[in-house]
Chains A and B, each alone.
Chain A
Amino acid sequence: MVSTPVTLLFIFILAAFVGYEVISKVPSILHTPLMSGSNAIHGVILVGAMIIANEARGPLEIALALVAVILATLNIVGGVAVTDRMLEMFKGRQQSRGARSEERGP
């Protein structure tokens, strides 16, 4: 890959700006789901865990890499599932609100 440290730093700074700008205004009701959702996204460390697992040599490296894969997978599946459960509540509420407004209709 043609990535020099300077290019990577360039990408890092741009990504920081994107991360900051993309969630400029969040209602407080969504703070918790957003935290949980971004928590799932840093589970992408699974990619790193897979890379080190792939190149691991000797029992110590293999054992540590295995633990890293387990923890990273936990991070992803747990984060996604918890976020989904939180947001499920909002979905249910929106539906019931729709149902009520239909009742009130003609």
Chain B
Amino acid sequence: MISSWPVLLGVTFTPVTLTGIYLASTICFVLALKALSSPRHARRGNLIGVAGMVIAVGLTFADQRIGHDWIIGVGMVIGAAIGIPAARKVRMTAMPQMVAAFNGVGGGAAALVSLVEFLHDVPAGVSPDKVVEIIFGLVIGCLSLSGSALAFAKLQELMTGRPITYPSQQMVNGGAGIAVVALGVVTIALPNLGTLAAMAIISLFLGASVVLPVGGADTPVLISLLNSFTGLAVAADGFVLDNLVLIVAGTLVGASGALLTKMMSDAMGRSLPNIVFGGFKPAVATTAGGGVAGDSRSVRSSDAADIGTLLAYSRKVMIVPGYGLAVAQAQHVIAELAKTLEDRGVEVAYAIHPVAGRMPGHMNVLLAEADVPYESLIEMDHANPQFPTTDVALVVGANDVVNPAARDLPGSPIYGMPILNVDQAGAVVFLKRSMRPGFAGIDNELLYDPKTVMLFGDAKESLTKLVASVKAA
């Protein structure tokens, strides 16, 4: 018997050694998650995760007793050839959709594993509990794949980031959910490819359909939820294949992902049901909020020379960066503007909203890339008390996170979201491309406030002009 067990580097892979090595791999994953959640050890955490992965994959490779090694080799080479350049080249601003994409392919892989296992085992007959496990892996994997694909499309602006709703949308989704369950019951009773495939297709539809009404600003929270889903699909495949490392690693991600999703939505002052189902309401609220004053309100816009002078003769300027800054790649120019102002004796700080940019922490990453000193970044709770003593709040490409409606207008879809109180500053300067509303798709009263000045244009160009005019002032 012993001779049938594979030998590698003098180690015979008995079931006990196999389990021991898999255990080492899963411990690596636990430690990786632990380290990733602390600022000091985060990078090490990623490396520990890689170590766990190398152990698990290496062991599985050594454990292969039959042929088909070429499939694995070819597949891994192709996957790496696509994935590494994509991840290396993507701009920091596009990180959120990259995470969505890599999460989606993971869900797709989990669904395929379930499907192939079904194809492989059905001719020989399968036990009902194995069919249940296969169904879980397939359905959750499909939901994650199509949901992530749609989230990617929204963030990549292949389609509108606004919530997309249509009448009786919830009924359609509910019906699809019931259909999946019903087909599942049929498949368990009578395992056949027809109902399984139908279930997969409806799951794919359902995943995309659930993401459809979620607004662009909430999409990162949804990606985190789908990330947790993929973990569960992987765990289900672990049950299918009787593989401990899949069960444990998948469940770890599923559970920690669920908690992380909750923490993210808390940071936005939203509840998860509100994010997933909230998109069904704002269509009404938007018209109610924006329709009151109509288009008669006037907006004050100015040129870079005037605003440069305003900034140059202020005592204290608070910069509020948002996604527009990121998308214009203006993080370096704004650092230059801040330095120019500081050289003139103006006090400059950055007020960072927890969800500024497109994901929590995204803005910190972008400003760190531009060498903005860490001490200049002020978190929302510390920034808000400073606005009443601030002369000018310079809002660059942010909108929803400074919208007073979130604080004052109970009917607003973003009501309850914590905001930066820039309206309490002496003057507010908005650098925006247009009057277009932010991701939440709602109007911002602050834009029409008499103390607000707009400077229209690309954030990078506007900031470059401002640097010149501050120097000239």
Contact = CB atoms under 8 A, between A and B. Distances in A.
Nearest to B231: A42
Contact of A42 (B19, B223, B249): B249
Given A23-B34, A49-B109, A53-B75, A12 B247 contact: yes
Interface string B352-379: 0010000111101100110101100000
Interface string B69-100: 00110111011101110111010100110110
B75 A20 contact: no
Given A11-B248, A31-B260, A31-B359, A57 B92 contact: no
B46 A84 contact: yes
Categorize the interface residue count of chain B: 35 or more
User: Chain A interface residue count: which class?
Assistant: 35 or more
Contacts of B49: 37, 40-41, 80
Interface string B227-253: 100110111011111111111111111
A32 B362 CA distance: 7
B115 A39 contact: no
Given A19-B252, A71-B106, A47 B60 contact: yes
B61 interface: yes
B15 interface: yes
Contacts of A28: 263, 267, 354, 360-361
A74 B82 contact: yes
Task: Give the secondary structure class of B's interface.
Answer: helix
A23 B79 CA distance: 30
Contacts of B250: 42, 44-45
Contacts of A8: 238-239, 242, 244, 247
B43 interface: yes
A33 B361 contact: yes
A44 to B, nearest CB: 4
A63 B43 CA distance: 36
28 contacts: A3-B242, A22-B34, A23-B37, A33-B46, A35-B99, A35-B359, A38-B257, A39-B227, A40-B49, A40-B102, A41-B32, A41-B253, A45-B109, A46-B57, A46-B76, A47-B245, A49-B109, A49-B112, A51-B243, A54-B67, A65-B75, A65-B112, A73-B79, A73-B83, A74-B83, A76-B83, A89-B369, A93-B368
Interface of B: 15, 19, 29-30, 32-34, 36-39, 42-43, 45-46, 49-50, 52-53, 56-57, 60-61, 64-68, 71-72, 74-76, 78-80, 82-84, 86-88, 90, 92, 95-96, 98-99, 101-103, 105-106, 108-110, 112-113, 115-117, 119-120, 129, 220, 223-224, 227, 230-231, 233-235, 237-260, 263-264, 267, 354, 359-362, 364-365, 368-369, 371, 373-374
Interface of A: 1, 3, 5, 8, 11-12, 15-20, 22-57, 60-62, 64-93, 96-97, 100
